Structures are given as C-alpha cells and as structure tokens.
Amino acid sequence: MAPTSSPQTPFGRVLTAMVTPFTADGVLDLDGAQRLAAHLVDSGNDGIVVNGTTGESPTTSDEEKAQLVRVVVEAVGDRAHVVAGAGTNDTRHSLELARAAEQAGAHGLLAVTPYYNKPPQEGLFRHFTAIADATDLPVMLYDIPGRSGVPINTETMVRLAEHPRIVANKDAKGDLGRASWAIAATGLAWYSGDDMLNLPLLSVGAVGFVSVVGHVVSPELRAMLDAYLQGDVAKATEVHQKLLPVFTGMFRTQGVITSKAALTRQGLPAGPLRLPLVELTDEEIEQLRRDLAAGGVHL
C-alpha cells in the first residue's frame, strides 16, 4: 500500500535518487538495495527514486530495473513513495519500461527529457504524453537540458500539465526565473533536481527535492525543509550554508561516483560502478573527505 499523497506533494517532499548497489563482481545486489532504501527512509526520506541516472540506468538491463523496483517497494513501499525512472530517448522503449515499473509495484514514474536525439518541443510533448498514457501511474517530468541537450519549454510544460497523470516536474534547469514562471503557469508539483538550489527553489514555489546528496545528508535536508515550511527561513538558510561544501564536493565529478564512494566508506551498500563510470582516485577520495567533513559529514 503506497503512502498517502496530496496534489501538492504527490511523491512526498524529500526523495533521494538512489544508487543501484552491485556485488563485488558487478551483479545487482538486491539485498543491498533493500537495506539502502530502508536506511534512506529511516534517515528522513519519504520517497525513493530508483533507476534514475544516479541509479546507473544507462547500464542496467530492463530485467534488472524491474527487479530493483520490486525489491525496493517490498522493503519501503508502505512508508515511502517509490518512483521508477522510465524515460529514455526511445519512446517505445520508455513505454515498455513504464509498464514494467507499474507491474513491479512502482508508485510513480520519472520521465527524463529524451537525450542525444534533440527532439523539437512537439516531439517532447508527444513523448511525455505517450508515457503518461501507457500506465495509470502519476508521472514526474525531468527537465535537465545539461544532459539532454533540450529544455522543456514553459509553453510545453503548460500543455503537458493538462494531462491528468502528469503531476510534477523535477527541475534541473538551473534557472530560478524560468522556474518561477513555470510553477505559476502549470500548477505542477515542483521538485528541485539540483541540490545547490534546493532552498532557493522552495522560495519560488517548489514542494521538495529529488536529491543526490541525500545519500549522506538526508536528516539535514529534512531539517532545512521543515524549517522553511515552519516559517523559520533563517534556520533553513543556516542549514543550506552548512551544506554548501557537501553540495560542492558531491558534484566535483558524476554524482553516482561520489555517492558510492561515500556510502562504501560509511559501511552502507553500494558496490562498484559499471563502465563507463570509474572509481575515484585516492586523491579524489581525499578531496571528497575534506569536502564532506567541512559540511559535518565524516567518512
């Protein structure tokens, strides 16, 4: 049974885009995935995103994706929203992933802008509409032009928001002005997809975060959000400023690389990376230690 949700917060407020744990020989670690998901929920998350970029979705198979959804729902689905990444740059493949995620028990879908093939806005509209039509699950769009090469324009967002199952957007556009207009124009539940902008996006109408740094600072993210919602902006700002070294350190390279390094050193399930991603060097690990220590996290 999925946790209760509201139109304002259809997927909860604090979600971590979870890494996919692998065993030492690179096989999916299903037990580790369950333990990591439980740890994240215990730490303050009311949602988990699986099979996103940070979950190494480009290098996991369709079968592995479905298995991962199934076991994470089994572990935490009664107390956290489990959102499954289902977007690719191939609409037909995305529909297959969406239906498989629904069958595996996911509570919602995350659909990223098609990447590399750079479709026009009409192509984006038809792609996202097809995904939303494919299942009965609510959909969170994922606008990340830095990876996809194409933004979802505000006008396209307005059209997509008319679909009854397109209910949210994960914003990694890095533009507070455009976010302000889009939040006002669409009424979509807005989630920060850029940890450095978690607090600023709340100030223009966001309802929560889909975070990478949540792997190491979920309690702090929850404290920042709660302080802001309670009207204590000074406290929220204090937490935000304390976390600046963490935001910086976790994104000196690809976020899944640093997340897995940090989790491993905290004794939590993570395991190796799949190529083309590679482990941090000794020098990079020391830099990560310094960055996280400056934000109060000790590896």
Q: Which residues contact 270 (CB under 8 A, 6 or more apart)?
A: 19, 21, 32, 36, 259, 260, 261, 263, 264
d(CA 292, CA 197): 18
d(CA 46, CA 241): 23
d(CA 263, CA 186): 37
Q: Which residues contact 276 (CB under 8 A, 6 or more apart)?
A: none
CA 13 to chain centre: 11
CB contact at 8 A, 228 and 199: yes
Quick one: tokens of 173?
């556009």
Catalytic residue among 65, 115, 116, 142: 142
What residues form DSSP beta bridges with 142?
112, 170
CA torsion through residues 102, 215, 113, 65, sign: negative
The yes-or-no answer on residue 228 being catalytic is no
Quick one: tokens of 136?
């009965």
The yes-or-no answer on residue 116 being catalytic is no
Residue whose C-alpha is closest to residue 111's, from 53, 164, 162: 53
Residue whose C-alpha is closest to residue 151's, from 116, 121, 117, 195: 121
Catalytic residue among 65, 115, 170, 173: 170
CB contact at 8 A, 124 and 156: yes
- The residues that are catalytic are 142, 170
